[in-house]
Amino acid sequence: MEQFGTVFCSNISIVRFKDGQWQEPAIEPLAPLPMHPAAHVFHYASSCFEGFKAYRWEDGRAYIFRLQDHVARMRRSAESMRLPVPDTELLAGMVKRLVANQIAEIPLPPSALYLRPTLIGTLENIGAAASPSTEATLFILASPVGDYFEGGSRPLKLLVDDQHARTTAQIGSTKTGGNYASALGPILDAKAKYGVDQVLFCPDGDVQETGAANFLLIGDDEVVTKPLNEMFLHGVTRDSILKLAADLGYKVSERDFTVDELLAAAPTYEATLSGTAACLAPVGCLVYEGKEILVRDGQPGPNTEKLRSALQAIHFGQAPDTHNWLTQV
């Protein structure tokens, strides 16, 4: 499998918002989008997106994981960015039609089809810095993918940054490119200086999230993660893991915790990153104040693997979908 996110299906689904209404969506061959240089998105970052997966089971059927939850989150992101909000039925229908059209391009488990709906402001007005884009384009990319991290589920190394936030409170829970752009510089600096994979942002010592995933501590009988607020992304994978953990008898503790508490828990708890792309990725080492601190023995832990396997068993049709998370195409 090529690097995650670099291979695309032969078609996209696309629709435009113009004259106050959504036009008729279509499936078109993958090709560059014609864009005016004055398009709002280029100058004022009016964009949001989603990321989720479809799976093709061995019997040939395809299923999309938590479609309605991702559609709902994208609608919230569009509202946050003051973009035209796509109707639930419009967006969900576009996704389902594209998956059905590309079903032959969906790789078999453990690979999947990554889906990337993207909404951009296309109003041709470079004077609209304080105005929303009243025109927009919504398109959906489909990409066959394997593991997000090179080397698979190897233990990751994180820099613990207790000074900076990933982004601003106003759009922290919005899935928009600006949040990733604000975290990129600190992540690249940390990679160059400490050889880490990611940065765990903990402003004022409050453990929050990394640049691209939610963060969880997992013990033998407890899962600990920060409660939802407007500062960080409300991950669908995070929510799935917490629900499955409760099903399996873990105590789920959504509470604030500090860097000091994180470091104290490192010898006995497992640490993981959760996200659609990475699923549940183990953390083996933390870097704090220039020192490397092992998480347990530095290797993937049994509880992380247990929860990851429970989630993937639903993805792949190997366990009952008791939460009704799958949408058949």
Question: Which active-site residues does the annotation give?
Answer: 175
- Taking the CA atoms of the chain, what radius of gyration do you get in angstroms? 20
C-beta contacts of 15-20 below 8 A and 24+ residues apart: 15/86, 15/90, 15/94, 15/137, 15/138, 15/139, 16/122, 16/135, 16/136, 16/137, 16/138, 17/84, 17/135, 17/136, 17/137, 17/138, 18/135, 20/134
Instruction: Give the contacts of 143 (CB within 8 A, at least 6 positions apart).
Output: 5, 6, 7, 8, 9, 113, 114, 115, 116
Q: 187 is written with which tokens?
A: 């992540």
Single-letter code of the amino acid located at 26: A
Report the C-alpha gap between 173 and 178 in whole angstroms: 12
How many C-beta neighbours within 10 Å does residue 183 have? 22
